[in-house]
Amino acid sequence: MARKLDAENNNTPCHSEKVAKYAMALCRALNIRGKKKDMIITACLIHDVGKIAVESRVWAKRGRLSCAQMIKARMHPVISAKLARQAGMPKTVVEAIYYHHVWFNGNGYPNEAYKKGKRIPIGARIVAVCDAYDTMMASRPYKEVVSRQQAARELEKFSVKQFDPKIVEIFLRVIIGEADN
């Protein structure tokens, strides 16, 4: 399903697979193994499947989304989690998907999430960093590609506010550090 979504959306080729690849490296660095790691990787692979329920023109629009379009776009984690639950995915996968756009400070979406900090499941915190990084590194109709260094600065800038600072620190060391070597 993730491959189908990525294939149909020219703006995000292999996005889910890249997010999963980054998450594998993070899990290794965080010493997350076995079933827990498998659940996080699964969540990465299907975190955006709910986008199929949102009109494709929303994802292809250049410039700012209207308020109505933004509301639709922000429903994708809820829809993705619902689809995962209906497919019989474990609760940890469903939660990682549902919370991947909830910020570390409690902002973000879905608004009714009511979680922040370490109360956000670790899988969602990992998906959030990996997803944000890959999104910054890819061309989208509404934004330009940024360099690896610019993406790293953005992750650092929004560490504590949007992202778990420990995960950002390890991501920068493992993913960005390896790329620079």
The vertex-158 CA angle with 153 and 159, nearest 5°, equals 95
Tokens of 5: 């979504």
Tens-binned pLDDT, residue by residue, of the chain (181 aa):
666 665 555 455 688 999 999 999 999 999 999 999 999 999 999 999 988 888 777 777 777 888 988 888 899 999 999 999 999 999 999 999 999 999 999 999 997 768 999 999 999 999 999 999 998 988 766 667 888 999 999 999 999 999 999 999 999 999 877 655 4
The pLDDT of residue 151 is 93
Residue-level pLDDT at 3: 62
Domains identified in the chain, total number: 1
Residue 5 sits at φ, ψ, to 5 deg, of -60, -50
pLDDT number for residue 5: 60
pTM of the model: 0.90
Give me the pLDDT at residue 15, please. 87
Distance between CA atoms of residues 98 and 22, nearest Å: 19
What is the Cα–Cα distance from 143 to 141, expressed in whole angstroms? 6
- CA of 175: how far to CAs of 45, 73, 74, 152, 156, in Å? 18, 28, 27, 10, 14
**What's the CATH number where 38 sits?**
1.10.3210.10
Predicted confidence at residue 70, as pLDDT, reads: 87
Q: Could you list the residue range(s) of the whole structural domain that residue 114 is in? A: 2-180
Angle at the Cα of 105 from the Cα atoms of 100 and 110, rounded to 5 degrees = 40
Q: What share of the chain is helix, strand, coil (3-state, %, to 5)?
A: 65, 5, 30
**Tokens in use for 82?**
């619902």
